[in-house]
Chain A
Amino acid sequence: AQRVTQPEKLLSVFKGAPVELKCNYSYSGSPELFWYVQYSRQRLQLLLRHISRESIKGFTADLNKGETSFHLKKPFAQEEDSAMYYCALRWSFQKLVFGTGTRLLVSP
């Protein structure tokens, strides 16, 4: 069955430090993966998708099929990056399965 694992509930870093939010998936088909972000008091929104290989707000994520991972990275964290981050896998039509989320806290 399809599954997304985010092993860290909380990741706390200082401003300017590198960030890596881990995401591993389990899926027998061809995976399509996404990162969604939820800032405080805001709705969940798409951050980036692996298929477009883009960089949004300095974040990048590379799909590694060998390791079944889609880790989210940013070289220099900013305080405004503090938020809840969800990794998601698209399967069957347009259904998504989400990981349990990682709260990123960036301290000054």
Chain B
Amino acid sequence: NAGVTQTPKFRVLKTGQSMTLLCAQDMNHEYMYWYRQDPGMGLRLIHYSVGEGTTAKGEVPDGYNVSRLKKQNFLLGLESAAPSQTSVYFCASSSETSGSSYEQYFGPGTRLTVT
């Protein structure tokens, strides 16, 4: 049981390049999230999904797109990377059942640098 995994672990992009970050979970969780972590700003929600085929905007969605074609996967895309998107990206998942106390399970993170 791997929990939440993220690919890649590190990436360096040039301004204007595109890339996709992959998140996978094997806990059959309904909800999935993408956060970015920046010094002094904590974690901020980019996009989230409440189920397969559905996505919604979070606190800082501009410049990102997401897709949830399969329940276990949640993709985060950067169409045209900017230096302001240099950050550590975390994926998380959670179960919809109240008995889980809404705990979010996090992946190990992807460190992205845009030059």
Contact = CB atoms under 8 A, between A and B. Distances in A.
Interface of A: 4, 6, 9, 32, 34, 43-46, 49, 51-52, 86, 90, 93-101
Interface of B: 4, 31, 33, 35, 40-45, 48, 50, 58-59, 90, 92, 94, 96, 101-104, 106-109
Nearest to A49: B101
B3 to A, nearest CB: 9
A52 B101 contact: yes
A95 B45 CA distance: 8
A46 B106 CA distance: 9
Given A86-B43, A100-B41, A101-B42, 18 more contacts: A6-B42, A9-B40, A43-B4, A44-B43, A44-B106, A49-B101, A93-B31, A93-B50, A94-B31, A94-B94, A94-B96, A94-B104, A95-B48, A95-B58, A96-B45, A96-B104, A98-B43, A98-B44
Residue among B50, B102, B108 facing the most chain A CB atoms (10 A cut-off): B102
B101 A100 contact: no
Contacts of B33: 95
Contacts of A93: 31, 50
A43 B106 contact: yes
Contacts of A98: 35, 42-44
Contact of A99 (B35, B42, B106): B42
Contacts of B101: 49, 51-52
Contacts of A90: 102
A86 B94 CA distance: 18
Residue among A9, A32, A52, A95 facing the most chain B CB atoms (10 A cut-off): A95
Contacts of B94: 94
